[in-house]
Amino acid sequence: MNSTTGNLAGYRVLDLTTEPGFFTGRLLADLGADVVKIEPPAGDPARRRGPFLGENPDPERSLLWLSLNVGKRGITLALDTPAGRDVFLRLCRGADVVLESEGPGSATSLAARGLGYDTLRATNPRLVVCALTPFGQTGPYSRYRASDITAVAMGGNLYPTGNPERPPVRCSLPVSHFHGGSDAAVGVVFALWARERTGEGQVVDVSLQEAVVAANMTGPAQFSLTGTPSTRAGANFRGGRAIFREIWPCRDGYVSFALRSGPGRNPGIVRLVEYMAENGMAGEELRSRDWMAYNHNLVTQDEVDRVEASLGAFFRTRTMQELYQAACQRSLMLAPANTAREVVASRQLAAREFFVSVDHPHLGARLVYPGAVAKTTADRIGVRRPAPRLAEHNREVYEELGISSAEQDALRAAGII
């Protein structure tokens, strides 16, 4: 699967997904696959989701659409018609992967349209079919519909997130789509690898709920040992006898620093106190303590409050960048809580040419995108084209399929494409 233009160059992916699966197609496109996004003739509903580039709510200017479908070609096809399904099967004969995000209970799933795996496999035994759905293809919830907040809640990530005195909160972005989307892309790549040995395709079944459970790391598994569910601590963490702050305001934002103990942590606290003392801001409470013997599970809340008052006063006199530079120079376990402003301005990301600019002539704009998820020495990973306009690649894709211009015109007149 190696080439000079991408690890997956030469592979074709038919992307039928709605928003939860957009990221999967984008990752495969970044890897060099020819990802063909298939929309209904009226366009994917995500095109009408804001925010939009400029003030005009134009379906071609949805930033959601532009960001998650970059790198793909785009065609329209009505799969709810016999003629549309016939055209889709013709596309499948020359494809390697089909992506969908409709669950078994959906009237718009491939199976409900008479295009289930058995039918697709009979058309092309080498086809890999990947379904990214809220609860997977089996189990008592498999036919349930669910949004990102449902997957995050039932995956166990919602409950421990937020402040302890308030209800749980979700991340502002649909994290289950991104966790599940990357898991699906990995599953597809492994299925293609297996096909090189067996000559046959297979089904890749990804559950958004399970992707979130996996992202919780050891939390769910620890319950069987402790009997205690994770609790919300907000911008804090809990020690044995006290609650400690972990996110601190500074002059222009926030930094992350924790008064955690241990062989890797205590020397850093010593160096932080030295840094504060050099600036005349380390009080007696800080300078008199033996920080190498410090154990955060043994200190009282009163002790923590006094120490944190000094730390907080010091952090507020410095910018995020000043504190981060000091952390790098002095080996402090401190990091800036970057916003989009700092991420875009990052010297590290600039040095690695992470962000790429893509021209959109039809929009009169040049947009900046996150680039490659990884760098390889042999193949280029990254953005290859802007997101497709509605029906932008109909003519070229259908001509590749052997459908003449006259036939396309007839299909268009019948509302098939």
pLDDT one-digit tens code per residue, 205-247:
999 999 999 988 777 777 888 787 777 888 898 888 999 999 9
Three-state DSSP at 197 gives: helix
Residues 322-333 pLDDT 10s:
999 999 999 999
> What are the tokens at 377?
């020495």
d(CA 113, CA 87): 13
Considering only CA atoms, which of 58, 52, 12 is closest in space to residue 36?
A: 12
Yes or no: say if 201 and 121 are a contact pair by the CB < 8 Å rule: yes
Phi–psi pair at 244, nearest 5 degrees: -120, 145
What pLDDT sits at residue 4?
Answer: 47
Instruction: Give mean pLDDT, residues 169-183.
Output: 95
Local structure of residue 282 (DSSP, 8 states): -
Q: Is the pLDDT of residue 1 over 50?
A: no
Residues 134-165 pLDDT 10s:
999 999 999 999 999 999 999 999 998 898 88
What pLDDT sits at residue 380?
Answer: 85
Considering only CA atoms, which of 58, 56, 71 is closest in space to residue 369?
A: 71
Q: For 386-416, b where at least 16 C-beta lie within 10 A, e where not — what string?
A: bbbbbbbbbeebbeeeebeeeebeebeeeeb
Task: Write down how long the chain is.
Answer: 417
Which is it for the CA torsion 279, 281, 287, 291, positive or negative?
negative
What pLDDT sits at residue 227?
Answer: 81
Kindly state the helix (H) or strand (E) to which residue 83 belongs, with its residue range.
helix 82-93
Q: What percent of the chain has pLDDT over 70?
A: 99
Local structure of residue 370 (DSSP, 8 states): E
> What are the tokens at 232?
């919300």
- pLDDT class of 6 with cuts at 50, 70, 90: confident
Phi–psi pair at 79, nearest 5 degrees: -80, -5
What pLDDT sits at residue 105?
Answer: 87
> What are the tokens at 80?
């709810």
Q: Is the pLDDT of residue 3 over 60?
A: no
* Residue labelled with tokens 């399904």: 85
d(CA 197, CA 229): 44
What pLDDT sits at residue 278?
Answer: 97
Q: Which fold has domain 12-216+369-413?
A: Rossmann fold (3.40.50)
Residues 241-300 pLDDT 10s:
999 999 999 999 999 999 999 999 999 999 999 999 999 999 888 999 999 999 999 999
Kindly state the helix (H) or strand (E) to which residue 274 belongs, with its residue range.
helix 266-278
Three-state DSSP at 332 gives: coil
* Other beta carbons less than 10 A from residue 78's beta carbon: 20
What pLDDT sits at residue 109?
Answer: 96
> What are the tokens at 246?
């972990």
Interhelix angle 175-198/22-30, nearest 10 degrees? 50
Whether the ω angle into residue 168 lies within 30 degrees of 0, i.e. cis, is: no
Considering only CA atoms, which of 379, 413, 387, 390 is closest in space to residue 31?
A: 379
Considering only CA atoms, which of 10, 155, 3 is closest in space to residue 97?
A: 10
Residues 362-397 pLDDT 10s:
999 999 999 988 988 877 899 999 999 999 999 999
d(CA 18, CA 207): 15
What integer best gives the mean pLDDT of the chain? 94
What pLDDT sits at residue 75?
Answer: 98
Q: Is the pLDDT of residue 2 over 80?
A: no
**More confident of the two residues 227 and 171:** 171
Domain map of the chain by residue range? 12-216+369-413, 236-249+254-336
Residue 416 CA to chain centroid, in angstroms?
A: 33
What pLDDT sits at residue 328?
Answer: 96
Distances from the Cα of 104 to the Cα of 27, 139, 148, 326, angstroms: 25, 11, 18, 54
For residue 66, the one-letter residue type is L
Cα separation of the two ends of the chain: 32
Q: What percent of the chain has pLDDT over 90?
A: 86
* Other beta carbons less than 10 A from residue 269's beta carbon: 24
| β-pair type (254-257, 247-249) | antiparallel
Yes or no: say if 39 and 76 are a contact pair by the CB < 8 Å rule: yes
Q: Is the pLDDT of residue 334 over 60?
A: yes
* Residue labelled with tokens 């498999």: 142
